[in-house]
Amino acid sequence: MTPKLIPPSTPRPANAFALHRRGVHHGFVEATTSDAERAADDTSDWRRGAPIRWPRILQGGIEVLRTEIESTRAMFDRLRNGAGWLDECDRRVDDDPDFRYSSSTVDRSDPREIERLFVDVVDENGTRIARDVTARLSWIADDESDLSLRVRFSFGYESLREWLANEDPRIALADEFAQRVFPECALLTHPTLLEELGRLHGAPVRLSERIVYSNAPGGGAVFHHDADPDQRGVVFGQLAGHTAWLALPRGALAELVAIADPRFDNSARAMAALDEIDEPLWRLLNMDPGFTQRVAEANALIVLAPGDVLVLPSPDRENTAWHSVFAVGEQPSLGLSFGIFDAY
């Protein structure tokens, strides 16, 4: 059953999450929404860029890795209170035989970045075989009221889009480094889950550009998509706490924009506007509770509980899942978000 959004003017119902993000109250959603079944034809959803929810499939693995998950939640709490990312990372992979700390930087042009670690990769003889594998700690939003954090594992510099070089050997090294620092990453790389994603895509896949999220209450992410070149989508796993999502295909979002924004007389023009979002459209998408209600009424509201997986396909730019995230609940949550790419 698709959860319903209760208007913000309504008194908060019992057992409901508030969709409150960075000062804007969008309404309430019932917390008991984890019993939905898998879609009967999720390959069709993949082709049209519709979100695919797989409920509860990580629950067994979460129980096995409960200690690691709670350790990571505690680490993010320390980082929010000023702990150093290098110190926390070193505590997790101290004396690792393959990954050695090289340097740290802070991108002063990006107010969200806290610290980026660079590591070298060495062989059994201690000889460096790769450099500039990175683990970047940053705030999710450029807003001091949002304490949501993320760590992204990659290589080189994001501004140069080096990570799109799909034959670079550092891809696999960055993926492995994420696994060393956060053992719970294994939950999304289980062979059964990889097979399911390959079934959707029609070919084997790899999961790279791995991100560990700790969404803080009242935070989250504004509407965006992940239709980067060669990236087939994103798979998100909820490990602790809850998140609420607005997720729907680009064309469906454009139809709602055309209805809500008088500047557009058809969905084609609204879809074109999504390529270059101006300030009025940004505010409609992300700060208008009435528009959020429209999206929810289009069956695009999803609540993830621990153990749930959400697949956000991007088979091509025209058919891609646009999505927006609300951090709900009283405590920061924990989730994994991995990019879906063709296997080597």
**Helix ranges (DSSP H) in the chain:** 42-47, 59-64, 66-80, 85-93, 170-181, 191-201, 250-260, 267-273, 279-287, 289-295
- pLDDT at residue 128 in the model: 96
Q: Minimal CA–CA distance to 28: which of 289, 272, 312?
A: 289
pLDDT score of 163: 62
The string of pLDDT tens digits covering residues 101-135 is 999 999 888 899 999 999 999 999 999 999 999 99
Stretch 42-60: mean pLDDT: 95
How far apart CA 67 and CA 65 sit, in angstroms, is 6
Q: What is the 3 state secondary structure string of 270-301?
A: HHHHCCCCCHHHHHHHHHCHHHHHHHHHHHHE
Is residue 187 scored above 90 in pLDDT? yes
pTM of the prediction? 0.94
What per-residue confidence (pLDDT) applies to 33?
A: 55
Edge-to-edge strand list for the sheet holding 16-21: 5-6, 24-30, 16-21
Mean pLDDT (the chain) is 93
**pLDDT above 90 (res 164):** no
Q: Is 279 exposed, middle or buried (0-12, 13-18, 19+ CB in 10 A)?
A: exposed
Q: What's residue 82's pLDDT?
A: 95
Model pLDDT for residues 197-232, shown as the tens digit of each residue: 999 999 999 999 999 999 999 999 999 999 888 899
Above 90 in pLDDT, residue 160?
no
Residue 205 in tokens: 């896949």
Query: CA end-to-end span of the chain, whole Å?
Result: 38
CA gap 118, 123 in Å, rounded: 17
- Taking residues 224-241, report their average pLDDT: 94
pLDDT above 90: percentage of residues in the chain: 85
Report which residue type is found at 233: G
Which amino acid is it at 60?
G
User: Per-residue pLDDT for 288 more than 80?
Assistant: yes
At 1, is the pLDDT very low, low, confident or very high (cuts 50, 70, 90)?
low
In the predicted structure, residue 34 carries a pLDDT above the cut 60: no
Q: Which residue has 């999720």 as its token pair?
A: 42
Q: Could you tell me which of 153, 149, 150 has the C-alpha nearest to residue 132? A: 153
Spatial separation of the C-alpha atoms in residues 97 and 120, rounded to whole Å:
11
Name the helix (H) or strand (E) containing 289.
helix 289-295
For the cut 70, the answer to whether the pLDDT of residue 39 exceeds it is no
pLDDT higher than threshold 80 for residue 301: yes
- CA–CA separation, 196 vs 158, rounded Å? 29
| Average confidence (pLDDT) over 263-270 | 94
Give the strand pairing for 149-155 and 128-139. Answer: antiparallel
181 and 135 Cβ atoms separated by less than 8 Å: yes
* Residues 132, 109: Cα–Cα separation, whole Å: 20
pLDDT recorded at residue 212: 98
Find the DSSP H helices in 137-235: 170-181, 191-201
How many residues comprise the chain? 344
Mean pLDDT confidence for 228-245: 95
Which tokens is 162 given? 């080096």
Question: Are the CB atoms for 43 and 49 separated by under 8 Å?
Answer: no
- Compute how many other C-beta atoms are within 10 angstroms of the C-beta atom of residue 262: 7
In this predicted structure, what is the pLDDT of residue 94? 83
pLDDT tens-digit map of 8-26: 999 998 889 999 999 999 9
Q: Which residues contact 4 (CB under 8 A, 6 or more apart)?
A: 29, 30, 296, 301
Distance from C-alpha of 274 to C-alpha of 270, rounded to nearest angstrom:
7
- The rounded distance, in Å, linking the Cα atoms of 49 and 320 is 4
Tokens of 97: 């035989």
Picking from 90-104, 151-165, 166-180, which range would have the lowest pLDDT averaged per residue?
Answer: 151-165
The candidate with the shortest Cα–Cα distance to 131, out of 113, 157, 108, is: 157
Distance in angstroms (rounded) separating the CA atoms of residues 300 and 326: 13
